[in-house]
Amino acid sequence: MPYVKAEAKLSVGPRTYKIYKLRALEAEGYDVSRLPYSIRVLLENVLRNYDGRDIAQEHIDALARWNPKSPEGEVALKVTRVVMQDYTGVPAVVDLATMREIAAKSGRDPSVVNPRVPVDLIIDHSVQVDHWASPQALSLNIRLEIERNRERYVFLKWAQSAFKNLRVFPPGTGIIHQVNLEYLARVVWTEGDTAFFETLVGMDSHTTMINGLGVVGWGVGGVEAEAAMLGEPITIRVPRVVGVRLYGEPRPGVTATDIVLAVTEALRKVNVVDAFVEFFGEGVRKLSVPDRATIANMAPEYGSTVGLFPVDGNTLDYLSATGRPEELIALVKKYYEEQGVFRGVEDAEYSQVVDFDLSAVEPSAAGPTLPWQRRSLQDVPKSFVEFLAQRKKRDKRKAVEIEIGGRRTEFGDGDVAIAAITSCTNTSNPYLLVAAGLVAKKAVEAGLSVPPYVKTSFAPGSRAVEEILRRAGLMPYLEKLGFHVVAYGCTTCIGNSGPLPQPVSKAIKEYDIMAAAVLSGNRNFEGRVHPEIRAAYLASPPLVVAYALAGSVLRDLSREPLGVGKEGKPVYLKDVWPSPEEVNEVVARAMDPKIYIEKYSKIGELVPEWSELKVPSGNLYQWRSDDTYIQPSPLFEGRPTTGDIINARPLLILGDSITTDHISPAGSIPPDSPAGRYLAERGVQQRDFNTFGARRGNWEVMVRGTFWSKGYINKIEGGLEGGYTVKYPEGLKTTVYEAAMMYKREGVPVVVVAGKNYGAGSSRDWAAKGPKLLGVKAVIAESFERIHRSNLTMVGIVPIQLPQGVTVDSLNLKGPETIDIIGLEDLAPGKELTLRIHRPDGRTDELRAKAAVYTWAEVEYIKHGGILPYVLRKLLEKS
């Protein structure tokens, strides 16, 4: 039962709600007034869901007595709802459908397997930019998307009717985080007569975008989200809370994108990994909710679990501007006032305070390969030259003449092959998109055009924001420069950038040209945006337009012209850049709550091809053996490893910053890969291979794609190209998949050894599921990315952290060694383990390392072979 001592009543208009009042704890000796906002939200969640078992007094104490300098303990939370996108959502629903089948075979009612909280799945990650710079681009890309993904879309449409509490948003609706921000979120949630802080988890690391609205939510792995859907509490360590005091006011010409790139750079330096970040101070009031959401979106890039803003007048204005009901807005204000957190928490205690001056931010970009490599505009050319020297071993620009569409032009190093206004970070922000539209308008009027080798695209994450641009009369100017709408989804930022123009692709391959991409995204890891483009820069939407016009990242936009306009006059960035007053005036004139109400009222009607899909009915899915997109999950099979791991072989020995893209690529499936060969053997034509992301519902494809990436080096035998390893003791060089299958047939356990920040990048459940199916028992690393470490425990893989001062290189592993891991029999959170490394010459080295297992719940998951078998056993025991 809930913590009744905290129950209280709240009247809002004609309704009265039950709430769990935080100040009620002061009567029990707790000092709640000093707690940061985020800790109060977690505390309310624990009070409301208290049952004395899963959520107990120790959880209340851990939060109510929160120690800012050394927070201790763990808390179990039950989130309000779960959001997913289709890349991560499809395998999650496959797992649920498999659980139903197992339940039915066990003689139980399959409907016991059903989401217990509201789940929204937004199909936004599968569209590719096959067509661009054309009025027909959008319709052609959607048509191709439906054709390529018909099998998985039929499955999702079946799931929507088969499962309770599951709502599916068809392709072409928008990007998950923008739909969440503009439509799904309520800030204060109600169930029956109870009102409470809205909380959520999402199957995408950039779920933190919702923090801009004041909602506590973050990204988790797919398996963890599945447990939350099924009513399991999510267990997290009590976090450090880092307060970021914003002061000053952004200078004219500085955008929210510039601010978030500067914030990312600053917070990376002070280490906020695994912390909750809260923004406070006078500068917060200077930022609109769309600007706050832009900053919150990139919390994974600065390393924190959340990047939370307070709920204040700006929040209420945004709820009103996006068409939320008046009664909800009144409830939000009254509830937050009653809980003492409206406009944030004055004099809250923080683990650390970081001061950030908004007035010091300058226009910038980040690259060429990492989101935190912020560059002032004048430093962008230098950064590319340095990258060119590193990758191509040349310090002079190489260029060739190519012909595109009947036009001959020079194309060379540093030229912009892709200019994309894309991703969740920026494209629901009407201020940023209006700024881009005004730059386009001024540029067209000045006589500028985009070089023919630049592939331009515009993928707004929100149909509402595109309508604002049309009402403002700015879309024709963007289209004049080739920025036609190509999709309403995640495109270039996730690697779904589609093909380059054939002459550009040919020049890159044949003449070894180092081209560049500029995108308004949040991720630019090397090779992510496009396999033929190594350098990519993150920039605001108006700067994307500017770089498209300039055609090169070697041009210093702070002082060199974008191009030559009418009458041969040079046109500079300052000539086309709009003032803040211009942007605000256009947004105020064009934005209307009716736009949001109208667009979201037509969900399901916007893409006729979706409505025409014929789907099966019933509680159980009708699996087809010839379906190359959807197959039942094998993650419930096999026995967990509960004892020590003996004579394990290193499957891979890796360096620092191995990302989830390296572990489980999301992009196109190469024909020479194990996954490509698997599809070809089943009669799938290469043109229909689609992407790993699209085929996440078929474990046969995904396990073969695990570690198939050219973007990393396997250190075995001195260094092998990504995707390959050596099988011992034969010394056979082969693919990672084939070596793993040989080891599995022989009953030999395998481990992965890696450097710092293993699992960096987007949360991706297959980056944990894939290694699990390869037979990986443990990952031994110098450090782990937060979400991925959790995901490993969720599938039953033991994450092990090397002691300080010991590196992957100092272990001196060559490949033929075997490794024992001692101490797993009685595994406990943070337990010290013994690693024994047996060398080929007969020597044995021994060292101590820590199990990077943080909670007792994670211990249980490892003991059961993963959270899915654990939850299924509990469900079947109850039914």
Measure the CA–CA gap between 285 and 511, rounded to whole angstroms: 52
Residue 581 in domain: yes
* pLDDT tens digit sequence for 323-353: 999 999 999 999 999 999 999 998 999 999 9
Write down the pLDDT at residue 397: 95
Query: Which one of 705, 720, 755 terminates a domain?
Result: 705
Side chain identity, residue 829: P
pLDDT confidence of 641, banded at 50, 70, 90?
low
The verdict on 429 and 524 lying in the same domain is yes
* pLDDT tens digit sequence for 644-698: 999 999 999 999 999 998 999 888 899 999 999 999 999 999 988 988 888 889 9
Measure the CA–CA gap between 603 and 173, rounded to whole angstroms: 7
The verdict on 722 and 580 lying in the same domain is no
The verdict on 780 and 698 lying in the same domain is no
Measure the CA–CA gap between 766 and 773, rounded to whole angstroms: 10
Measure the CA–CA gap between 131 and 328, rounded to whole angstroms: 41
pLDDT confidence of 421, banded at 50, 70, 90?
very high
Residue 514 sits in a domain of what CATH number?
3.30.499.10
The verdict on 558 and 675 lying in the same domain is no
Residue 264 in domain: no
Write down the pLDDT at residue 19: 98
The verdict on 440 and 551 lying in the same domain is yes
pLDDT confidence of 149, banded at 50, 70, 90?
confident
Query: Which one of 20, 48, 77 terminates a domain?
Result: 77
Residue 659 in domain: yes
Mean per-residue pLDDT, 5-14 = 95
Write down the pLDDT at residue 234: 85
The verdict on 669 and 575 lying in the same domain is no
Write down the pLDDT at residue 383: 97
The verdict on 414 and 548 lying in the same domain is yes
Instruction: Say if residue 1's pLDDT is above 90.
Output: no
Write down the pLDDT at residue 786: 76
Residue 299 in domain: no
Instruction: Say if residue 638's pLDDT is above 70.
Output: no
The verdict on 748 and 690 lying in the same domain is no
The verdict on 796 and 825 lying in the same domain is yes
The verdict on 682 and 710 lying in the same domain is no
Is the model more confident about 449 or about 52? 449
* pLDDT tens digit sequence for 256-290: 999 999 999 999 999 998 899 999 999 999 999 99
Mean per-residue pLDDT, 439-467 = 96
CA atoms 796, 770, 534, 480: torsion sign: negative
Is the model more confident about 874 or about 541? 541
Mean per-residue pLDDT, 136-153 = 92
Write down the pLDDT at residue 548: 98
Measure the CA–CA gap between 756 and 806, rounded to whole angstroms: 11
Instruction: Say if residue 527's pLDDT is above 90.
Output: no
Instruction: Say if residue 468's pLDDT is above 70.
Output: yes
Write down the pLDDT at residue 53: 77
Mean per-residue pLDDT, 4-32 = 95
Residue 660 in domain: yes
Residue 740 sits in a domain of what CATH number?
3.20.19.10
Instruction: Say if residue 623's pLDDT is above 90.
Output: yes
The verdict on 659 and 523 lying in the same domain is no
* pLDDT tens digit sequence for 753-763: 999 999 987 76
Residue 740 in domain: yes
- Residue from 494, 497, 253 nearest 363 by CA: 253
The verdict on 685 and 587 lying in the same domain is no
Lowest mean pLDDT among 15-24, 125-134, 411-420, 608-617: 608-617
How would you label 610-644 residue by residue, b for 16+ Cβ within 10 Å and e otherwise?
beeeeeeeebebeeeeebbbbbbbebbeeeebeee
Instruction: Say if residue 299's pLDDT is above 70.
Output: yes
Residue 38 in domain: yes
User: How many structural domains compose the chain?
Assistant: 4
- Residue from 699, 562, 574, 726 nearest 629 by CA: 699
Q: How many residues are listed for the chain in this entry?
A: 879
Find the DSSP H helices in 199-352.
222-229, 256-270, 289-297, 299-302, 313-321, 326-338
Write down the pLDDT at residue 564: 96
Domain range for 577: 374-591
Residue 147 in domain: no
Instruction: Say if residue 879's pLDDT is above 80.
Output: no
- Mean per-residue pLDDT of the chain: 94
